[in-house]
Structure 1
Amino acid sequence: MKLLVICLGNICRSPMGEGALRARLAASPLAGRVEVDSAGTSGWHRGQAPDPRAIACAARHGVDIAGLRARPLQHKDFRHFDYILCADARNLDDARVLAPPDAHDRAVLWLPWAGIAGTSEVPDPWYGDEADFEHSWALLDAAAQATVRRLADTVESGIIGP
């Protein structure tokens, strides 16, 4: 299974989501069996490290995302990844514009896809403060945990190989 986490610039939500998902997968029976990456629907921050506030937030939760670098979502990502996990509806719309017609259903809002009820979007903390980053982290980490549960169920069904 290959998962790509998407936000607008790939410097706040998607690197935090990638970090949370990697950490949750590493601590699960799925360790080493799921590929995870992140990208942004824009190329504004190409090659840049995550926002320092995102790095600090992830670090407070024991996750190091400092080595990640922003990259834009590319057409070839739809051939490589099984799911494009979008942080919000705008990201989903932008991803689907880039997607080949046969891949539209693989671009999804991450929270509902993972089974998180009550909200469908991870708010962008860019203009906020530490509390906004913590709120986004809480949603992303909940999605990461729910994703691991969803994929573990899939593993037992035999869809993901050994």
Structure 2
Amino acid sequence: MTVKESKIIKVLFVCMGNICRSPTADAVFRKKIKDSRLENKIYVDSAGTHAYHIGEPPDQRAQNTALQRGYSMHALRARAIQPHDFIDFDYILAMDNANLAILQERCPIQYNYKLALLMEYCQHSHSCREIADPYYGGLHGFENVLDMVEMASQGLLEHICK
């Protein structure tokens, strides 16, 4: 069954604080969906495993980097992952192994199949399977996050559409 024939697919991107990596993935994937005219077939959200920044907008460096490539994050606000997310979402994609491990601990066993690393969907040969947290680094880290998210998002969209 193709995405056009099925129910709404729900994708949740997860990092630690939901202000850098997961909102970047949210914005990139949301734009890919819109450009593919699938916004009524795929729902996107993001969350953090920690409640450090609830209600805050994404990091300004992440927003500026994304905006330079045409992705808007201004409407996004940080939230923490909730127990119902494991039920509600079809894909729960972590940015790194540490956050994936936290998700695996919290996730009811019957929904573990929904958990993965976002980079597992990257179709390009890339040595890194994790998207490193750019928070304490320079602007290059935010560019690198965006590069990796763009590559993996394209593969994820193609996977969902099959």
TM-score (norm 1): 0.90
Structure 1 residue 77, shift from structure 2 partner: 0.1
Is the 8 Å Cα contact of residues 114 and 150 (structure 1) preserved in structure 2? no
Q: CA deviation at 1:86?
A: 0.5
Listed as ranges, the gaps of 5+ residues in structure 1 are: 154-162
Q: CA deviation at 1:98?
A: 1.0
Q: What amino acid does structure 1 have at the position aligned with 2:104?
A: R
What is the aligned partner in structure 2 of residue 147 from structure 1?
156
Alignment of 1:128 onto 2:141? no
1:126 maps to a residue whose letter is Y
The answer as to whether partners of 2:121 and 2:155 remain within 8 angstroms in 1 is no
Q: CA deviation at 1:101?
A: 1.0
Cα-to-partner distance string for 1:31-87 (whole Å, 9 max, x where unaligned): 321000000000010111000001101101111101100000111100100010100
Name which of 43, 46, 59 aligns with 1:51. Answer: 59
Tell me the distance in 1 between the aligned counterparts of 2:16 and 2:123: 22
Query: 2:33 is matched with which residue?
Result: 25
Q: What CA RMSD, in Å, does the superposition of the two structures yield over aligned residues? A: 1.2
Conservation of the 8 A alpha-carbon contact between 2:27 and 2:71: yes
Sequence identity, in percent?
35
TM-score, normalized by length of structure 2?
0.90
Contact 1:28–1:148 (8 Å) recurs in 2: no
Give the counterpart of 2:94 among 77, 86, 93. Answer: 86
**C-alpha separation in 1, matches of 2:95 and 2:22:** 7
Matched residues in 2 for 1:86 and 1:11: separation? 14
Q: CA deviation at 1:96?
A: 1.0
5 Å matches for 1:32-71?
32-71=40-79
Instruction: Identify the match of residue 23 of structure 2 among 10, 15, 36.
Output: 15
Which whole-Å CA distance do the structure 1 matches of 2:122 and 2:42 have between them?
15
1:73 aligns with 81
Unpaired runs of 5+ in structure 2? 1-8
Comparing 101-110 and 25-34, the one that deviates more: 25-34
Classify the secondary structure of the residue corresponding to 1:15. Answer: helix
How many residue pairs match? The answer is 153
